[in-house]
Amino acid sequence: MSGEKTPPYPGGIAAILTQMEGRRDALDFAPGEALPPMDTPLAGLAAQIVSEPDADPAEAPPFRSNHHRKRHALRRELTGRSELVFLNALLIAHLRKRVFPAHAPGLFQRLWAEEAPALLQQLDPRWLVSSVTTFGDHGLSAVQRSVGLALSTLFGTMKLYESERLYSGHMADRPFALDGKAPGPLPLEMDGYALPSGGLDVNMIGRLWREAEGDPVIQPLAHRLLEMLIADDRTVFSRLMTMRQRQARRDGAKTDGAPVPVPASHRALTSETLRWGLTSTIRAPLPEIARFAAHHLELGAAALHIHLDAPDPEAAAFLTRHPAIRVTQCDAIYWQASGRARPEAHQVRQAYNATQSLRDGLGVHWLGHIDVDEVLLPQRPLAELLCEVPLSAAVARVAPAEALASEDGLPHRFKLTHKHAGQPKAVLQAIYPTFGAHLYGGFLSHTSGKVFARTGIEDTRLGIHTLKYRGTEASNRHRLDEVWLGHLHARSWAQFRADLGFRRTLGSYRKSSERPEMGQAELIGYLMEEEGEAGLRALFDEVCADTPALRDRLAAHGMLLEHPFDPDAAVNRIFGALP
């Protein structure tokens, strides 16, 4: 009949079952091939490393069987990982089929009963999910089968939904705007999730957690997966919590936690006894890191905790010659010791590392979190300014100043937003005639600034632009006067152009779901599509370049900051010659 919709799955459930079963043909063995026997020693496998299969005549093609083909593919994928990880993967591959060696389920059970701690340390999230799915098919107890099937369904549904959601143009950690909700019912006439008070998420997670407690073999695996789920800010669960907080703010509810309690020891501090420090997660050449460190050490930083996002032993050795610098190499060992997989988003890695520094304390009273391309520009000693923060405040915010790009060295002039200069928004059109209407404050970078947090407070987490206390943003905040956060965001045209690709996909030029108007992402995307390099250069020249005309327009509105600094000279004074 004309107008009828084609069903999503032509042929219905029968066709689905046929397609599913077509993927489950057994892996055959060539003569002499077999899975390891049931009594295979497992204790030493975690320390044995999988070698490149093509270099081993016993593993390399031509393939003798489907088992050989699958074994080769897994060993190639897992080269450099442990033989324990490989055996787990090989057993999973066979147990997904209709027919498998009779002892395969028992050997899989042995693996997780005897070597769970090593497996949980060495498996990545993908193989953790595959492992729990295998418990759903081959569990020895009702708990193993129910928890395995439930978690397999949960993560499978998430994979489908999260994959489709990427086509919305939103990154996985970006919640939708509250005003963008479409009308209409959910499939199967389900009631929608109640954003202000819905409990479906906690009921699902909580019931699975409790159910897994009924079996000692699957419990560590299930609990690890659920902990990873609630810690990842790229899931529907995390996004819904963010949207719930925004909805509460919109409705007038108080979402800030109680004021963060200030440690009693801070009440007796003076500008002479107060110690401050910085934490930063950095992926940059040594000269840039050295400039960052030397500048802030000369300002009086008592401690710098530098997390090298790309491990660099030579840089670490050079930097730690100074007693105030601590360097953490964020390598595989570091992330394994953290008990979580290395987050894909650098913003998540930054927040995690900053929180670890805050909890450590570093022997300072105030800890700031800034990036390697940001410099503090105080008008008076920073210890004095922090000492003047009201004792009721646990957070001190530093307002940003975006550098004007100089083509003959590092910038030494900066611009302010209209808000931080006390000017009306209308001045942006006068200062940036072409692009002022599309850039908040006339900035290409963030306008939130960064924060210092008091140390020694339990239940706090230090983020990129904020401090959270017991899961919500700290309410007792204070704006630090007489200091600016100089952001060397676009130091030159060459650097701006080189960083553009990363910033559009993973950094500050991603599309924001919170701003319905055109912003950096939309403006830059439009210019690249319609005008190419000429459009980008016009944007840079009007907004970023340190020209006399722009300086005059900024100065006329009190939005120009001149603060000369020489980090290269500071490097020579602090470290001596770079290697």
Whether pLDDT at 408 is above 90: no
Residue 101 within any structural domain of the chain: yes
In a domain, 6, yes or no: no
- The upper half-sphere exposure of residue 172, i.e. CA atoms within 13 Å in the direction of its Cβ, equals 17
CA 142: distance to chain centroid?
A: 37
CA dist 313 and 317 (Å) reads: 6
Would you say residue 135 lies in a domain? no
CA-based nearest residue to 419, from 280, 321, 558, 549: 558
Instruction: Please check whether residues 111 and 223 belong to one and the same domain.
Output: no
Q: Kindly report, residue by residue over 327-380, the tens digit of the pLDDT.
A: 999 999 999 999 989 998 888 999 999 999 999 999 999 999 999 999 999 999
Helices (H), 392-543: 427-431, 493-505, 520-530, 532-543
490-534 pLDDT, tens digit each: 888 888 888 777 777 766 666 654 444 456 767 877 777 787 888
Is the domain of 531 the same as that of 452?
yes
Last residue in a domain, options 93, 108, 123: 123
246 and 276 in a single domain? The answer is no
In this structure, the answer to whether residues 343 and 279 fall within a common structural domain is: yes
Tokens of 215: 């079996």
Quick check: is 476 in a domain?
A: yes
pLDDT for 257 equals 55
Is the same domain home to 171 and 315?
A: no
Structure confidence at residue 258 as a pLDDT band (50, 70, 90): low
The residue among 304 and 166 whose pLDDT is bigger is 304
Q: What is the rounded distance in angstroms from the CA atom of residue 512 to the CA atom of residue 489?
A: 19
Whether 509 and 463 share a structural domain: yes
Is 255 a member of any domain?
A: no
On whether the pTM is more than 0.85, the answer is no
Which residues fall within 8 angstroms of residue 251, CB to CB, at 6 or more apart?
Answer: 196
Asked if residue 143 belongs to a domain, the reply is no
526 and 389 within one domain: yes
- Find the domain containing 28 and state its range: 21-123
Say whether both 306 and 414 belong to one domain.
yes
User: If pLDDT is split at 50, 70 and 90, which confidence band does 255 have?
Assistant: very low
Mean pLDDT of the 426-443 span: 88
Q: Are residues 116 and 212 in the same domain?
A: no
CATH number at residue 477: 3.90.550
Residue 378 maps to a domain = yes
- pLDDT category at 323 given cuts 50, 70, 90 is very high
CA distance 84 to 121: 11
Question: Do 422 and 496 sit in the same domain of this protein?
Answer: yes
Query: d(Cα 330, Cα 350) in Å, to the nearest integer?
Result: 11
Flag whether 223 is in a domain. Answer: yes
Residues 210 and 318 in one domain: no
Our count of domains for the chain comes to: 3
Whole-number average pLDDT of the chain: 88
Q: Say yes or no: 387 and 463 in one domain.
A: yes
